[in-house]
Amino acid sequence: MSDALPIEVSSPTPLLELRGISKEFPGVKALDDVSFAVYPGEVHMLLGENGAGKSSLMKVLCGAYGADAGEFFYKGEKVAIASTADAQKLGIAVIFQEFSLVPYLDIAQNIFLGREPKGRVPGTIDRRKILADARRVLDTIGFDIDPSTTVDKLGVAQQQMVEIAKAISQDARILVMDEPTAALSDRETELLFALIARLKADGVAIVYISHRMAEVFALGDRITVLRDGRRIDGVRPADVTPDQLVRMMVGRNVDMTYPRHFADKPGELLLEVKGLTAPTGISDINIEVRRGEIVGLCGLVGSGRSEVARAIFGADPVTSGEIIFDGKAISGEPDLAARRGIALIPESRKSEGLALLRSVSDNLVVSALRKLFPSGLFDQRRAQRTADGLIRQLRIATPSARQTVGLLSGGNQQKVVIGKWLAAGSKLFIFDEPTRGIDIGAKSEIFALIDRLVADGAAALMISSEQIEICHVCDRAYVMREGRIAGHLTRNELTEENIVRLGMHHA
């Protein structure tokens, strides 16, 4: 299907056009004859399930991957994009969902990495200029922070803003954003949308990858849908409904309301947190979670949600308070919590949830080694059977259990993180942003999986920045504000309005 659409655009000639792009990896055809065009001053939405080929297409676009077949045209002229340097010369910048920052360099150094202003002495950097230039870029996107702050001290949302600043600083004419609001607060998202409007007015072409339908219809001028490495269709937002887009993406009808049977009468108390205080900024946390229920933990980004999860799991130290799990007080290391039956599915799956250079199979069984092999002797056949069973159960898209997990799409990597705790037989699952960067079809699968877990007697504590998920999925929820529990909402009280009220204002 041609990418030409009967849509009004600011220029008759695409700023950038890809024709017939194909890319194959061992056992996987990531892209199959995909054509794609973007015009100056437009936001072109790119949709598809995880594994549909979106990220592969963008990596070809920015020169990170070489295309096996296909052609590139810039302002109508045929060009070569064989490296990231080629892409940068054409004004292409990409903000990937998984960050590419150097944690122990400061914000200014990350923004201008490889483009540092030279100092008066040969071989040195003009420190004053790099800080001033970084400050100007940060002001452009409304990010008020000291540019000399090292990146390792930033939260996920703040790191995302640095990535955006880095791309803006390159004076990009074609800007690719891969799930840019996944870790941003409502206020930060508003600033980003205002920035996108300014970039559009300046003639910048924006390719925007998102799984949030509200963003697709609020920002998009055109929409392209990929499925299984192929281009399915190109449409205007005014000519399509969210349900139609979902059907294009997944090839089937998907219930977007995440229906579940709420716990009328939860089971026995499984987790009780009393007066928990930690150096990470949380104070006097009191939480209860019972078997058979999903309990939400929500609030603004930076309110302390992840810090509570890490403290319960033993990943961060605590200064006072008590954690009682399954009737016994616990404290100490994550290994002890895991053996007792607590699972943490962290927000940052790549840095904290996976061994990226190991196989899918290794990652799936690593948390269950004591359970699967009590004698201490590793049985490769049993490990393989366990991994294969989880791959089928979770519908993990991988050529085999031997595939390196780092080569999977983000959504399939998330399924592997969840799968390793299923193998371990955990009783309490702490999900920290379980659907971050996950497509609509996979979201439904993950929520159905969580529902089955609690129906079988486990319990779940779920952190999510998407309030609609908390309202549709959780039996009840705690709302955090500035490191403390601001309120508790029962099932009947659980609305987006109440979450915002408690999270933003003093109740």
Closest to 502 (Cα-Cα) out of 337, 258, 485: 485
Q: Based on C-alpha coordinates, what's the Rg of the chain? A: 23
What percent of the chain is modeled with pLDDT above 70?
A: 92
Higher pLDDT, 249 or 415: 415
Q: What is the mean pLDDT of residues 487-501?
A: 86
The confidence score (pLDDT) of residue 352 equals: 82
The confidence score (pLDDT) of residue 183 equals: 67
- Residues 63-90 have pLDDT tens digits of 999 999 999 999 999 999 999 889 989 9
- Residues 363-394 have pLDDT tens digits of 999 888 888 888 888 888 888 999 999 998 88
Question: 24 and 221 in contact (C-beta within 8 Å)?
Answer: no
Distance between CA atoms of residues 265 and 43, nearest Å: 48
Query: Mind giving me the DSSP string for 1-36?
Result: --S--S---S-SS-SEEEEEEEEEETTEEEEEEEEE
Higher pLDDT, 75 or 444: 75
- Residues 228-244 have pLDDT tens digits of 889 988 899 999 988 78
Please give the model's pTM, rounded to 2 decimal places: 0.59
Distance between CA atoms of residues 238 and 417, nearest Å: 38
Distance between CA atoms of residues 237 and 223, nearest Å: 7
The mean pLDDT value of the chain amounts to 85
- Residues 125-148 have pLDDT tens digits of 899 999 999 999 998 877 889 999
Q: At 470, list the tokens.
A: 């908390």
- Residues 163-218 have pLDDT tens digits of 888 888 888 889 999 888 876 767 778 878 888 898 888 888 999 998 778 889 99
CATH ID of 1-91+172-179+195-253, from 1.20.120.530, 3.40.50.980, 3.40.50.300, 3.90.920.20: 3.40.50.300
Question: What CATH superfamily classification does 255-332+428-440+459-507 receive?
Answer: P-loop containing nucleotide triphosphate hydrolases (3.40.50.300)
Alpha helices in 316-462 (DSSP H): 334-340, 360-365, 369-372, 380-394, 410-424, 440-455
For residue 70, give the amino acid letter: G
Q: At 164, list the tokens.
A: 């955006």
The ranges of the chain annotated as CATH 3.40.50.300 are: 1-91+172-179+195-253, 255-332+428-440+459-507
Question: 429 and 450 in contact (C-beta within 8 Å)?
Answer: yes
The confidence score (pLDDT) of residue 11 equals: 54
| pLDDT tops 70 at residue 298 | yes
What percent of the chain is modeled with pLDDT above 90?
A: 39
Q: How many residues does the chain have?
A: 507
- Residues 100-123 have pLDDT tens digits of 899 999 999 999 998 888 888 888
Distance between CA atoms of residues 35 and 71, nearest Å: 9
**284 φ, ψ to 5°?**
55, 55
Distance between CA atoms of residues 440 and 186, nearest Å: 20
- Report the number of secondary-structure helices (H) and strands (E) in the chain: 17, 20
For residue 462, how many other CB atoms are within 10 A of its CB?
25
